[in-house]
Structure 1
């Protein structure tokens, strides 16, 4: 069994849980940053989340942001084969949106590396950042990727009977598996 097959069969639930820990930690950083800006009233340059308070370069590193976007894209891609039916549809939506988010980060990284900025801006700027400030844009991106991921995982853990028959992993809640016990 290949690594990808193992991730989507015998280790699918563990793989999803580890992936969600990474996603939730990233979410927490963005939520702390939003709290620092809109509740504490900190200036945006000083609102760096938790890790950014100790390592400020993390917030301004386009490499770090790009690598996280890439990790998300790879994780969504590698774990997709384990999903079936409605859950797979929602997971694929998250993957498609993350693909675009990854392109935006690639654009930011390329600008940071070349010193040539989009639309005459003074700093690296993504396409949607031309209409939304960066903090708000990243909260938006994280939301529109996270929501379909959560829906996919919910549906994956509670499949219809036909979906359960096609699942190669044992992620489904025990209450969803009465037919499997009778076999």
Structure 2
């Protein structure tokens, strides 16, 4: 007799989901802060782009130019979206999937940059590693854009997840939803 196994969600998507989302959000916000600090250095403080390195890049300038560091962050984001996805239901899952889809593309762009950095062969003979959308947008502004279009649906997903409708609450396996007084 054949049996079918029902795959149980991991603790990461049940009783640890709320904490894991909190850690993920802190990582994302720290990264956002770096990009916003760099943009402020360029646009508000009028620093040359080469000197605008965000917060961590000031004491550790190699961080800004390290394709490994940028790729590593893109990979951490992608893994986080995949690992935490199962905890979302209904509308929040839809928004999480949108953020995940954009992050897949963002990750591929960083993989392309890393491959160019390692091989020394740059896209279209450019003098430095160049991503596809960097052909139309400068790198700093492009990364602000990428972070915004990943962050916005992620926040929508998390807000809906915290305040689900009745059907979504019934389908949820975690304790992220805000309890309402009855």
Indicate the TM-score class for this superposition, using the shorter chain for normalisation: over 0.9
Matched with 1:181 is: none
2:16 maps to 1:16: no
| Superposition map of 1:142-153 within 5 A | 142-153=147-158
Q: CA deviation at 1:120?
A: 1.4
| TM-score with structure 2 setting the length | 0.94
Q: CA deviation at 1:19?
A: 0.4
2:101 maps to 1:106: no
| Superposition map of 1:34-183 within 5 A | 34-175=39-180
Matched residue pairs, number?
176
Q: CA deviation at 1:119?
A: 1.1
Aligned equivalents of 1:64, 1:171: Cα separation in 2: 31
| TM-score with structure 1 setting the length | 0.94
Aligned equivalents of 1:93, 1:146: Cα separation in 2: 10
What is the alpha-carbon root mean square deviation over aligned residues?
1.4
SS at match of 1:58: helix
Displacement over 6 Å in runs of 4+: none
Gaps of 5+ in 2: 1-6
Aligned equivalents of 2:55, 2:176: Cα separation in 1: 33
Q: CA deviation at 1:166?
A: 0.1
Matched with 1:32 is: 37
